[in-house]
């Protein structure tokens, strides 16, 4: 079992394959690389660089996406975190799934994905289901880094499974982030009703 320190260099910067010791530089490199990888996946109809076709039907696809986005930067990309994690945003503390409950969370999320696959391709039905599912996936937060980017790719795959694509305006992007921070499935569903096309 890892501790927080196992992920960090002595100066507090995340250990990485590139030998970067400056936090700002690592952040920029990570962002740029993962952005390029996201575009690659999208432009190749959600086929990963290793040739795997994403379907949105298997919870373990999250690991594959995280590996594709960050595997050239971090040794632990594509592996679930081994430390408990919370986040403070605008004074709100969010406690993500504890590692000890990952098995239960994974089982429940797989059940939800299996149910999602049976839904009709009705915009309101899909938006409501995505509101619940994306909120649950966001609370799972299984990776040390790249959870939001991994979830964004996976959500696009889920929409695609039902014949939709996601189209965000800046305002809708902010609404999505607000729904995520508030851990609110109804707010999230309202966002999906607007961005599903």
Q: For residue 141, what pLDDT is reported?
A: 94
Q: What would the two tokens of residue 13 be?
A: 């910067």
Q: For residue 167, what pLDDT is reported?
A: 94
Q: What would the two tokens of residue 35 be?
A: 């952005």
Q: For residue 87, what pLDDT is reported?
A: 77
CATH number for the domain including 137? 1.10.3290.10
**101 vs 178: CA distance, rounded Å:** 26
- Backbone φ and ψ for 25, nearest 5 degrees, come out as -65, -45
Per-residue pLDDT, averaged over 152-179, amounts to 95
Nearest to 73 by CA among 4, 1, 151, 143: 143
Per-residue pLDDT, averaged over 57-80, amounts to 98
Q: Which domain holds residue 181?
A: 4-76+85-195
Q: What would the two tokens of residue 137 be?
A: 């996936």
**136 vs 32: CA distance, rounded Å:** 27
The model carries a pTM of: 0.95
**115 vs 149: CA distance, rounded Å:** 24
Tell how far CA 76 is from the center of its chain.
Answer: 15
Beta strands in the chain (DSSP E): 86-89, 92-95
**154 vs 68: CA distance, rounded Å:** 12
Nearest to 99 by CA among 110, 83, 77: 83
- Backbone φ and ψ for 33, nearest 5 degrees, come out as -65, -45
End-to-end CA distance of the chain: 43
Q: For residue 88, what pLDDT is reported?
A: 75
Domain count, the chain: 1
CB-based contact 158:62 (threshold 8 Å): no
Per-residue pLDDT, averaged over 168-178, amounts to 92
Q: Is the dihedral of CA 128, 42, 16, 91 positive or negative?
A: negative
Per-residue pLDDT, averaged over 100-121, amounts to 97
Pick the range with the lowest mean pLDDT from 44-53, 79-88, 185-194.
Answer: 79-88
Provide DSSP, 7-46: GB-TTSPBP-TT----HHHHHHHHHHHHHHHHHHHHHTTT
Q: For residue 171, what pLDDT is reported?
A: 93
């Amino acid at each position: 079992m890892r501790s927080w320190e196992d992920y960090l260099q002595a100066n507090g910067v995340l250990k990485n394959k590139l030998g970067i010791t400056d936090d700002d530089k690592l952040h920029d490199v990570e962002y740029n690389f993962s952005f390029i990888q996201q575009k690659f996946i999208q432009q190749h109809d959600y086929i990963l660089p290793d040739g795997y076709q994403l379907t949105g039907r298997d919870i373990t696809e999250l690991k594959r996406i995280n590996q594709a986005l960050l595997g050239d930067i971090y040794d632990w990309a594509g592996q679930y975190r081994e430390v408990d994690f919370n986040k403070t945003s605008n004074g709100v503390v969010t406690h993500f799934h504890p590692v000890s409950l990952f098995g239960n969370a994974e089982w429940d999320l797989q059940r939800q994905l299996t149910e999602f696959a049976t839904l009709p391709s009705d915009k309101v039905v899909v938006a409501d289901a995505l509101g619940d599912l994306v909120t649950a996936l966001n609370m799972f937060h299984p990776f040390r880094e790249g959870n939001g980017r991994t979830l964004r790719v996976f959500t696009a795959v889920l929409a695609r499974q039902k014949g939709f694509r996601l189209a965000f305006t800046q305002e809708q992007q902010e609404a999505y982030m607000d729904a995520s921070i508030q851990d609110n499935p109804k707010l999230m569903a309202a966002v999906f009703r607007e961005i599903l096309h």
